[in-house]
Amino acid sequence: MKRTLLPTPHSYTQQRQYPLLRRSNVLPAVSAILVLLCCISCRKLLTVPPPVTQVTAEQVFSTDEQANSAMAGIYVSMIGVSPGTDNFANGLTSRLGGLSSDELVSMFIGLDAPIVHINTNKITRDGSAESSAVWKTLYATIYGANAVIDGVAGSTSSRLSDSTRKQLTAEAKCIRAFCYFYLVNFFGDVPLVLVADPLKVAAMSRTPVEEVYRQIIQDLKDAQTGLVADYSASNGKRIRVNMWGATALLARAYLFLQDYDNAAAEATKVIGNTSEFDLEDDLNRAFLTDSKEAIWQLEQNINDGLAGNATLEGYNLLPIAPSFVVTYLSEQLLGAFEPGDQRRAKWVDSTGFPGFYYYYPAKYKTGALNRVVGAPATEYYMLLRLAEQYLIRAEARAHGAPGGAIAAIADLNALRSRSGLDDLPETLSETELLDAVAKEWQTEMFCEWGHRWFNLKRTGKAPEVLSAIPIKQPWVGDYQLLYPLPLESVLNGAGIIQNSGYQN
């Protein structure tokens, strides 16, 4: 793989969020972390030699300023260090999840192309550049988080304050948990890497999903106690994860583990913080930089010569040329919206010619046709938002968490009300309530972070729902509900065994 060049100094938009950092201090530390990430992501995973750099860990974590700039490097890496690069956090997860589920259809259906194989659930053992990019960039971010955790723990500098040590360690653990959540939901059992030393990692085998989830829960509990409860670390912008982000992720993890009482309890903490979060009455405000709904966002590099002030998520999902989109919304998704649903009116748009209209997700409004290089961003990447917490709590309550069915219906009605829909009646049966929960997940969180695909899998509905879609027939097997591991990782990882169904 061609080595990615490090960005020039002006491209680090994160510098603006760390007022105490001088450029002379930022660049060595951020560059050191980015060199680490590039070395890891561009070589064969789990057989990585130590990266060569003149900046030692002791230097990177010698002061609060240097350590904070190292953390800034992790956020830079999450959305890519070069224009147009596919990274799990810059829209790739949303696109692949949408294609694998019943949300998106590729414009290239009918061609023998890896992205079409994903869309039709007929992936081969070779996988695709896109699915491999998910694996590689998630592990690159994990290694960066581990480098921060290890670097802080190993630093003996008296100029690295205890408060910064606590904050950065917790922040890195939260990011690590976030990454592992996506790894297990895309790939199943994965190597559980908790150190930044490649030599200790080289012989690792895959860790069972249950054990990875235990680590996710522990990391998020640690993050809750170590992270600040406000957005002071990023000057009021919601572009660094804080205690509420860790709490929101913990609610999600508990839901996936069917620990409904704890899922509801953690979601309630976030929903109850009305001074910080609220549902946006205007759906067109939900993804803006100052959205009250945002729990955690990432800020793009507005000087990116490709996307400019757009997110790559918006760039790739909105039309890339007049009357042309790369993917469009499926009939299954469009048919899920009730008449009058403002999510359909505000978050879906169309393009094309008379008789050949294609509908596409329009949650983000800035894309290829209206982005401006260097202009202020009006939208950031949305990683976590409040609506999900209502859905988590509603589902948990529908399964018996405190509050029960009546409270679950009230949570769903909060989302329906701001979408212009009538309230659901309190007389719903248990089956009707669970169906209503699933439908609200589908119409609220569509084309966001693979929610629909992951939800179909965890509820056992995926084979039934997906196998009935014309472009996915014939259904070749439920093994397609996990992606194949990148082939080079299987061939070169000492203990790495390919997912079932992809061995031949």
The string of pLDDT tens digits covering residues 258-311 is 999 999 999 999 999 999 999 999 999 999 999 999 999 999 999 999 999 999
Q: Where is pLDDT greater, at 100 or 27? A: 100
Task: Name the residue among 67, 83, 63, 84 with its Cα closest to residue 33.
Answer: 67
Is 183:143 a contact under the CB 8 Å cutoff? Answer: no
Q: What is the largest CA-CA distance in the chain?
A: 69
- The pLDDT, as a whole number, for residue 449 is 98
Cα angle at 456 between 334 and 489, to 5 degrees? 115
For 351, phi then psi, to 5°, come to -150, 170
- Report residue 32's pLDDT band, with 50, 70 and 90 as the boundaries: low
Q: Is the pLDDT of residue 396 over 50?
A: yes
Backbone angles phi, psi at 181, to 5 degrees: -60, -45
Strand intervals (E) in 9-90:
none
Average pLDDT, the chain: 89
Query: Across the strands, what pairs with 495?
Result: 205
Res 199: pLDDT: 74
Q: Distance (Å, rounded) from C-alpha 473 to C-alpha 460?
A: 19
Burial 197-230 (b: 16+ CB within 10 A, else e): ebeebbebebbebeebbebbbebbebbbebbbee
Query: Please, how many CA atoms are within 13 Å of residue 497, restricted to the half-sphere of its CB?
Result: 7
The phi, psi pair for 190, rounded to 5°, reads -140, 155
Residue carrying the six token digits 């070779």: 126
pLDDT at 244 over 80: yes
Structure tokens at 136: 């590689």
Question: Which two tokens mark 362?
Answer: 């329009």
In this prediction, residues 327-336 reach a mean pLDDT of: 98
Confidence label for 201 from pLDDT (cuts 50, 70 and 90):
confident
Residue 491's pLDDT is 72
Q: How far is CA 442 from CA 22, 106, 290, 337, 404, in A?
A: 45, 19, 25, 9, 22
Res 33: pLDDT? 54
- Give the containing element (helix H, strand E) for 279: none
Supply the pLDDT for residue 62. 94
The rounded Cα 330 to chain-centroid distance in angstroms is: 22
Q: Would you state the pLDDT for residue 298?
A: 98
d(CA 457, CA 189): 15
Which tokens belong to 456? 């179909």
- 421: which 2 tokens? 């829909």
Distance separating alpha carbons of residues 469 and 99, to the nearest angstrom:
12
* pLDDT at residue 203 in the model: 75
Q: So where are the chain's domains?
A: 312-379
Is a pLDDT exceeding 90 seen at residue 151?
A: yes
3-class DSSP assignment, residue 391: helix
Q: Residue 200 — pLDDT band, cuts 50, 70, 90? A: confident
For residue 195, give the nearest of 187, 183, 186, 204 by alpha carbon.
204
Is 447 in contact with 317 (CB distance < 8 Å)? yes
Kind of pairing between the strands at 104-106 and 327-329 = antiparallel
| Residue-wise DSSP of 297-364 | EE---TT-TTTTTS-HHHHHHS-SBTTB-SEEE-HHHHTTSPTT-HHHHHHEEEEEETTEEEEEE-SS
Asked whether the predicted pLDDT for residue 500 surpasses 50, the reply is yes
59 falls in which pLDDT band (50, 70, 90)? confident
Tell whether the model's pLDDT for residue 29 goes beyond 80: no
Q: In a 3-state reduction of DSSP, which class is residue 422?
A: coil
DSSP reduced 3-state for 132: helix
Q: Which percentage of the chain shows pLDDT scores above 90?
A: 81
The pLDDT score that the predictor gives to residue 414 is 98
Q: What is the per-residue pLDDT across 85-116, written as a single tens digit (0 to 9) for each?
A: 899 999 999 999 999 999 999 999 999 999 99
Q: Fill in the DSSP letter of residue 367.
A: -
Alpha helices (runs of H) in 311-467, residue ranges in sequence order? 312-317, 331-334, 342-347, 386-398, 404-418, 430-444, 451-458, 462-467
What pLDDT score does 493 carry? 66
Query: Pick from 193, 243, 229, 260: which is nearest to 48 by CA?
Result: 193
**Closest C-alpha to 361, from 387, 390, 326:** 326
Can you tell me the distance from the alpha carbon of 54 to that of 36, in angstroms, rounded to the nearest whole number? 12
- What confidence score (pLDDT) does residue 14 get? 35
The rounded distance, in Å, linking the Cα atoms of 131 and 150 is: 29
Two tokens at 353? Answer: 């010619």
Give the mean pLDDT of 125-144: 94
What secondary structure letter does DSSP report for 326?
A: S
pLDDT band at residue 78, thresholds of 50, 70 and 90? very high
Residue 300 CA to its chain's centroid (Å): 14
Contact, 316 vs 366, CB < 8 A? Answer: no
Q: Which residues have a Cβ under 8 Å from the Cβ of 416 and sit 6 or more positions away?
A: 422, 423, 424, 440
* Listed range (26-35, 124-133, 348-357) with the worst mean pLDDT: 26-35
pLDDT category, 54, cuts 50, 70, 90?
A: very low
Of the listed ranges 26-35, 182-191, 394-403, the least confidently predicted one is 26-35
Least confident of 43-57, 118-132, 168-182, 327-341: 43-57
Q: Looking at the predicted structure, is the pLDDT value of residue 56 above 80?
A: no
pLDDT at 47 over 80: no
Rounded average pLDDT over 162-182: 98
- The mean pLDDT of 235-243, rounded to a whole number, is 97
* Confidence band for 490, pLDDT divided at 50, 70 and 90: confident
pLDDT higher than 90, residue 27: no
- Ranking 28-37, 376-385, 460-469 by mean pLDDT, the lowest is 28-37
CA distance 373 to 308: 4
Confidence of residue 334 (pLDDT cuts 50, 70, 90): very high
Q: Which residues of 73-102 are buried (b: 16+ CB within 10 A; e: fewer)?
A: bbbbbbbbbbeebbbbbbbbbbbbbbbbbb
- pLDDT value, residue 488: 83
Position 484, amino acid: P
Q: Tell whether the model's pLDDT for residue 28 goes beyond 80.
A: no
**Residue 192 pLDDT:** 96
Instruction: Name the residue with tokens 């929960």.
Output: 437
User: How high is the pLDDT of residue 492?
Assistant: 74
When pLDDT is averaged across residues 25-51 and rounded to a whole number, the result is: 44
User: Which of the two residues, 332 and 12, has the higher pLDDT score?
Assistant: 332
